[in-house]
Amino acid sequence: MSKLIYGLLTADLIVDRDSGSTSYIRTVEHAVVPELPAVLPPIFFASLWDLEGAKSQPFTVSLRLVGPGGKSVTLGVQEVTPGETLLHKMNFQLPGLRVETEGRHTVVAAVKDGDDWMPVAELPLFVFLAAKA
């Protein structure tokens, strides 16, 4: 099975066309909103996967946003078909996420294993309400 090496939330990224290296711009761990509910600016879920031992088997990754109360919303699902390399970068653009409450939200990345989803990363995304002047 494929193994997640790293996952992070970032406001922007740049992929070098020649080398394939990626620069992550402004990592994201929180957002301040003027009122709730709110739509957050677009962000990326950036990840690197170790395909060694995956035997060139496709795998499926899902992303969910779990709110402070446990309500879960699926953000997307992507099937990855490994190539000839041992590493695979997956940069998943998340359009504006809708949040309804303040507090700790979690972006959960999971890999499908049979009929089950196995969480491989839980990234915090705190939402704070701006102080009124």
Q: HEC string of 45-66?
A: EEEEEECCCCCCCCEEEEEEEE
Region 118-129: mean pLDDT is 97
Confidence at residue 84, expressed as pLDDT on a 0 to 100 scale: 77
Q: Is the pLDDT of residue 55 over 70?
A: no
DSSP string across the chain: --EEEEEEEEEEEEE-TTT--EEEEEE-SEEEESSSSEEPPPEEEEEEEE-TTSTT--EEEEEEEE-TTS-EEEEEEEEE---SSSEEEEEEEE---EE-SSEEEEEEEEEEETTEEEEEEEEEEEEEEPPP-
Between 29 and 51, the more confident residue is: 29
Q: Is the pLDDT of residue 126 over 90?
A: yes
Q: Is the pLDDT of residue 82 over 80?
A: no
Confidence at residue 56, expressed as pLDDT on a 0 to 100 scale: 66
- Please name which of 76, 83, 66, 38 lies closest in space to residue 124, comparing C-alpha atoms: 66
Residue 38: domain span: 3-129
Average confidence score pLDDT of the chain: 92
Region 46-60: mean pLDDT is 83
Confidence at residue 57, expressed as pLDDT on a 0 to 100 scale: 79
Domain count, the chain: 1
Query: What is the pLDDT confidence band of residue 54, given thresholds at 50, 70 and 90?
Result: low
CATH number of the domain at 44, please. Answer: 2.60.40.10
Confidence at residue 123, expressed as pLDDT on a 0 to 100 scale: 97
